[in-house]
């Protein structure tokens, strides 16, 4: 029986600005996002039933893959089954968008295997019903996302960006909701940093680290135990500020090249005993 294998990438928000809070309790955002080389693996095989297996334990209510499957079955009144195997490499609840990416990848797979004939706009619309980050992962690539996350402007670039990730554990059951509820209007910005960085990229200019920004950075050290200490270690090695990934608690540094990223990663892991990884955007030449 044929199996469809798809990679489900993580993402990094180079900028993440919250514009305001909406009347529906969501937030309007503007963010410059890229997918990265850290990926989960998803295997889809035709089946008479819905079967799911994974190398990590997932709570049923937060299983974005099963939620996506049942959304599609109910919307299109289908009796189809599918067997899905998830190999999870992106840490859970890390701010890297793994669950949203899994949902988008599942949408793409079902559209193929169940011959739904949905176009990109249809998939983005369905993705927005699952989660705010899901629409981005339908198209991926370096993009500016805005509104709740469903409005996407793709940026054409061949530049490859190298990052060092520093992972952190936490025990918050609904981390993203906690982070957004901890924001006040003092954390809101007008989107200027993102638009400035977008303009530089469109003009084939560089991406200076001083323009990288995450609105959650100012509150994250108070919410995640031990994050401040790890941040200080990370920053002492790179000599400048490091940035939170999404709603955290992973931190990232944009390195000038692969060699620098690898050296910093080795110092974090070998000298300080921290969980780190080197990743890149785009495809290797």
So which residues are the catalytic ones? 11, 133
Strand partners, 267: none
Cis, peptide link before residue 249, omega less than 30° from 0: yes
State the Cα torsion 220-223-226-227 to the nearest 10°: -10
CA–CA separation, 251 and 233 (whole Å): 11
Instruction: List beta partners, residue 146.
Output: 30, 151
In angstroms, rounded to a whole number, what is the distance separating the alpha carbons of residues 34 and 10?
A: 9
Instruction: Collapse the DSSP code of 28 into the 3-class scheme (helix H, G, I; strand E, B; otherwise coil) and give the result.
Output: strand
Look at residues 11, 127, 117 and name the one whose alpha carbon lies nearest to residue 64.
127
The whole-angstrom separation of Cα 35 and Cα 254 is: 14
What is the residue whose two structure tokens read 């819905």? 50
Report whether 279 contacts 36 (CB < 8 A): yes
Q: 142: Cβ–Cβ under 8 A, 6 or more apart, which residues?
A: 32, 33, 34, 154, 155, 157, 201, 281, 282
Q: Is 161 helix (H, G, I), strand (E, B) or coil?
A: coil
Instruction: Find, among 223, 198, 140, the residue nearest to 14 by Cα.
Output: 198
Indicate the pairing of strand 27-47 with strand 50-54.
unpaired
Please count the residues of the chain. 285
């Amino acid at each position: 029986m044929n199996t469809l294998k798809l990679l489900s990438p993580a993402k990094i928000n180079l900028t993440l600005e919250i514009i305001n809070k909406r009347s529906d309790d969501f937030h309007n955002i503007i963010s410059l996002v890229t997918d990265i080389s850290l990926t989960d693996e998803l295997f889809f095989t035709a089946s008479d039933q819905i079967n799911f297996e994974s190398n990590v334990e997932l709570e049923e209510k937060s299983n974005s893959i099963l939620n996506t499957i049942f959304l599609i079955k109910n919307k299109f009144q289908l009796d189809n089954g599918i067997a899905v195997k998830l190999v999870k490499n992106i840490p859970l609840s890390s701010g890297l968008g793994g669950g949203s990416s899994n949902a988008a990848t599942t949408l793409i797979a079902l559209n193929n295997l169940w011959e739904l004939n949905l176009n990109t706009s249809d998939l983005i619309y369905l993705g927005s019903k699952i989660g705010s980050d899901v629409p981005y992962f339908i198209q991926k690539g370096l993009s500016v996302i805005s509104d709740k996350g469903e409005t996407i402007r793709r940026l054409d670039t061949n530049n490859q960006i190298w990052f060092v990730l520093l992972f952190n554990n936490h025990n918050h059951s609904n981390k993203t909701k906690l982070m957004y509820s901890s924001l006040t209007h003092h954390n809101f910005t007008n989107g200027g940093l993102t638009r400035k960085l977008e303009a530089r990229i469109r003009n084939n200019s560089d991406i200076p680290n001083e323009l990288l920004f995450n609105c959650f950075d100012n509150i994250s050290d108070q919410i995640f135990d031990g994050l401040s200490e790890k941040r200080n270690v990370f920053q002492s090695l790179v000599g400048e500020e490091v940035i939170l990934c999404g709603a955290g608690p992973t931190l990232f540094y944009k390195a000038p090249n692969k060699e620098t990223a690898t050296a910093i990663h080795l110092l974090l892991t070998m000298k300080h005993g921290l969980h780190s990884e080197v990743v890149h955007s785009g495809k290797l030449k």
